[in-house]
């Protein structure tokens, strides 16, 4: 695909701050990759270019397409060793922290804790503060901490202006959680950003070193940046001012996790000499679909002015008004079935989008009754499976034995005679001496462990065997992390025998053992023989790596997914269901004191509309069951806005069935 006029301007603007407002379906990735290729062709060394985005998939796609442009079409000597640095924010911060984190008291080989590891630390901290699950669950505690971190709120500041009892409890324990993480040399995903920003603010020499590595910076999906990401980007770009940010304020839908749309809205205030390029030519959707999207989004007052245009003509979108939630599901599935039976569309080309996780239930039941294949996006992550977490915990312990969460997970997995009572004694001693459990085990001999009740000789022997085994395997895998060594290690711990012991069903045993095979596959794809590097790579892989979602990519099935999950995707035919006040817009936004809360819901609806390429259908129920009682609903205000009618939108009436 050649470049249109606006895309050419973005590609050829190689110096100074640049804001590229890339509307939905306007060839954003095409423009970005051509711009990076143009920079390299103009004489900029590839390794002096940094391109940052939000997903590993996007980063890899960007790198691949740049290579195709330069090698396939331009004949450049663009090779593996001289590439732009394309990565996610978190991957970038990991590399920076590996180089400098010792300045703020962490080990260079710090561990990156996932959700399960975080919950283990959270439980310990809440237990120390005598906070019960009834008062504050570990998951709630971590969610509040994440919100504070993404908003740039420190543990000290979190204690100010607290009105909610749970916020008060979480604020009290926030500082202890951070201290506990630091004690075991671990960080969580939010810390990767926060600690990088802390390094830049406290150590100007670190910022100078890191900013000096690049002459050009490009940031994708800039509307999704939070405060930390914004500060990191600004710090890195200030010396040379060659900053290109790409995004669309009309698709800013992640305010609930700390993203601030004001960063893209205020770009020209931060960078007064910035050039602004608008990409408005849509290559995805029909004119009729875009007319609805354009009419909807203008109701948001604070936005960059732009309007999507398309040369494609198609069918007018439809609105289905149904008697109740059950009829809505039946009507939508009947329409889908009719289209599939007629051969007009394949199941894989249809998406049913919803606002809340509770909505799919009725649709799943109807899909099953109609024997229509479907998949609900958002299945269990590969790295959340027990067997995978067990093996990864072993590898984390080999890399850093002071990782208490991982150590306590595997110390008796598979069983080796170290029971829960022993684990509790070791943990209590570690807390008493303020040291990791591994150091307590190391200081132990058969007749010496400074605990209230001495261990039996069998338990003491088991602990010593475990210690010797870990030390021996560290010498192997930390020095030479290869597929063969990993296979041998898994054989040494007899994990296949453990799977056979736990799962009587043969098919389940095979599936779980296949998951171990996927770890081996990941190791085979790893580019070097360093264990810590492999752990970094897998920790940053994110939800969905190796998951059943990936296995279903080729399946010819209807996709059910949330509007949030649909961002960045496209489908020939889209149904957006539950177009009612309280659902879309969500009741939390409608009842929010923030007068702009509904704006994000409108952007979410806009994202849904612009996923559709050829056909778009919206549906609503006039009443729904709530707590066992049928209650009337109110049509979404967005229906009135998109149809351009202040009153009585022209709903397509559907006979109650």
Q: Which residues pair with 18 in a beta bridge?
A: 244, 275
Name, in order, each residue with C-beta under 8 angstroms of 178's C-beta and a sequence gap of 6 or more: 155
Catalytic member of 335, 611, 624, 637: 611
Residue with tokens 């409108």: 602
As a dihedral over the C-alpha atoms of residue 505, residue 506, residue 507, residue 513, rounded to 10 degrees, the angle is 110
The maximal CA–CA distance of the chain, rounded, in angstroms, is 84
How far is C-alpha 530 from the chain's CA centre? 25
Catalytic member of 117, 221, 387, 641: 221
- Is 220 annotated as catalytic? yes
Written as six digits, the tokens of 125 are 């901290």
Other Cβ atoms within 10 Å of 166 Cβ, number: 15
Of the candidates 15, 91, 6, 104, the one whose C-alpha atom is nearest the C-alpha of residue 53 is: 91
Catalytic member of 251, 429, 617, 643: 251
SS3 559: strand
> CB–CB of 408/120 below 8 Å?
yes
Alpha helices, DSSP H only, in 324-359?
325-341
Catalytic member of 28, 65, 284, 624: 28
- Is 637 annotated as catalytic? no
Using CA atoms, how far residue 182 sits from 118, 155, 195, 395, 404, in Å, is: 12, 14, 12, 20, 12
Catalytic member of 117, 190, 220, 614: 220
SS (H, E, C) 22-53: ECCCCCHHHHHHHHHHHHHHCCCCHHHEEEEE
The b/e string for 409-431 (b: 16+ C-beta within 10 A; e otherwise) is bbbbbeebebeeebeebbeebbe
> CB–CB of 575/354 below 8 Å?
no
> CB–CB of 170/210 below 8 Å?
no
Determine how β-strand 571-576 pairs with β-strand 216-219: unpaired
- Is 251 annotated as catalytic? yes
Radius of gyration of the chain (CA): 27
Using CA atoms, how far residue 97 sits from 102, 194, 574, in Å, is: 8, 11, 43
SS (H, E, C) 161-201: CCCCHHHHHHHHHHHHHHHHHHHCCEECHHHHHHHHHHHHH
Residue with tokens 């630390």: 121
- Is 611 annotated as catalytic? yes
The DSSP output letter for 594 is -
Of the candidates 101, 103, 257, 85, the one whose C-alpha atom is nearest the C-alpha of residue 191 is: 101
Catalytic member of 13, 29, 183, 552: 29
- Is 221 annotated as catalytic? yes
Residues known to be catalytic: 28-29, 220-221, 251, 611
């Amino acid at each position: 695909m050649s470049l249109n006029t606006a895309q050419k301007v973005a590609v050829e603007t190689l110096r100074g701050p640049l804001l590229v407002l890339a509307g939905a379906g306007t060839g954003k990735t095409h423009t970005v990759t051509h711009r990076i290729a143009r920079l390299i062709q103009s004489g900029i060394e590839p390794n002096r270019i940094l391109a940052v985005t939000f997903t590993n998939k996007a980063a890899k796609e960007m790198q691949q397409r740049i290579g195709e442009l330069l090698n396939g079409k331009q004949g450049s000597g663009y090779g593996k060793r001289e590439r732009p640095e394309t990565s996610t924010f978190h991957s970038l911060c990991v590399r920076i922290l590996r180089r400098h984190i010792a300045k703020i008291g962490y080990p260079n080989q710090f561990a990156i804790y996932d959700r399960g590891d975080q919950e283990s630390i959270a439980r310990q901290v809440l237990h120390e503060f005598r906070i019960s699950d009834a008062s504050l669950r570990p998951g709630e505690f971590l969610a509040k901490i994440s919100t504070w971190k993404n908003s740039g709120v420190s543990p000290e500041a979190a204690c100010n202006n607290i009105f909610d009892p749970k916020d008060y409890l979480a604020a009290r324990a926030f500082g202890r959680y951070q201290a506990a993480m630091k004690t075991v040399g671990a960080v969580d995903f939010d810390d990767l950003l926060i600690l990088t920003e802390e390094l830049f603010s406290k150590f100007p020499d670190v910022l100078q070193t890191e900013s000096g590595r690049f002459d050009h910076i490009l940031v994708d999906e800039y509307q999704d940046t939070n405060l930390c990401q914004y500060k990191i980007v600004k710090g890195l770009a200030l010396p040379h001012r060659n900053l290109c940010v790409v995004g669309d304020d009309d698709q800013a839908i992640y305010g609930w996790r700390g993203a601030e749309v004001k960063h893209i809205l205020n770009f020209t205030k931060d960078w007064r000499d910035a050039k602004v390029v608008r990409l408005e030519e849509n290559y995805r959707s029909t004119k009729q679909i875009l007319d609805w999207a354009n009419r909807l989004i203008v109701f948001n007052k604070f936005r960059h002015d732009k309007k999507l245009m398309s040369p494609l003509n198609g069918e007018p979108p439809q609105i289905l008004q149904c008697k109740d939630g059950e009829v809505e599901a039946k009507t939508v599935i009947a329409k889908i079935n009719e289209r599939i039976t007629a051969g007009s569309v394949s199941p894989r080309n249809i998406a049913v989008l919803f606002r809340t996780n509770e909505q799919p239930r009725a649709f799943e039941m109807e899909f099953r009754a109609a024997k229509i294949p479907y998949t609900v996006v958002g299945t269990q992550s590969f790295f959340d499976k027990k067997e995978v977490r067990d093996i990864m915990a072993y590898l984390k312990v080999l890399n850093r034995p002071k990782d208490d969460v991982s150590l306590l997970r595997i110390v008796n997995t598979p069983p080796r005679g170290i029971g829960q009572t022993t684990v509790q004694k070791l943990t209590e001693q570690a807390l008493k001496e303020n040291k990791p459990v591994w150091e307590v085990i190391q200081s132990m001999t058969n007749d010496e462990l400074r605990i209230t009740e001495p261990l039996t000789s069998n338990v003491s022997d088991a602990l010593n065997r475990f210690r010797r085994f870990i030390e021996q395997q560290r010498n192997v895998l930390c020095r030479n992390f290869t597929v063969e060594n990993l296979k041998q290690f898994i054989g040494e711990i007899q994990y296949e025998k453990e799977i056979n012991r736990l799962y009587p069903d043969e098919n389940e045993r095979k599936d779980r053992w296949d998951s171990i095979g996927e770890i081996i596959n990941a190791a085979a794809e790893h580019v070097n023989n360093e264990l810590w590097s492999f752990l970094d790579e897998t920790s940053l892989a994110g939800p969905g790596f190796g998951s059943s979602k990936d296995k279903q990519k080729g399946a010819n099935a209807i996709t059910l997914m949330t509007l949030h999950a649909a961002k960045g995707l496209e489908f020939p035919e889209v149904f957006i269901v539950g177009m009612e006040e309280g659902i879309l817009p969500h009741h939390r936004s409608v009842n929010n004191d923030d007068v702009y809360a509904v704006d994000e819901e409108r952007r979410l609806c806009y994202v849904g509309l612009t996923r559709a390429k050829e056909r778009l259908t919206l549906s609503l129920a006039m009443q729904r069951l709530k707590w066992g009682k049928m209650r009337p609903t109110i049509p979404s205000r967005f229906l009135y806005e998109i149809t351009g009618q202040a009153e009585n939108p022209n709903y397509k009436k559907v006979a109650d069935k």
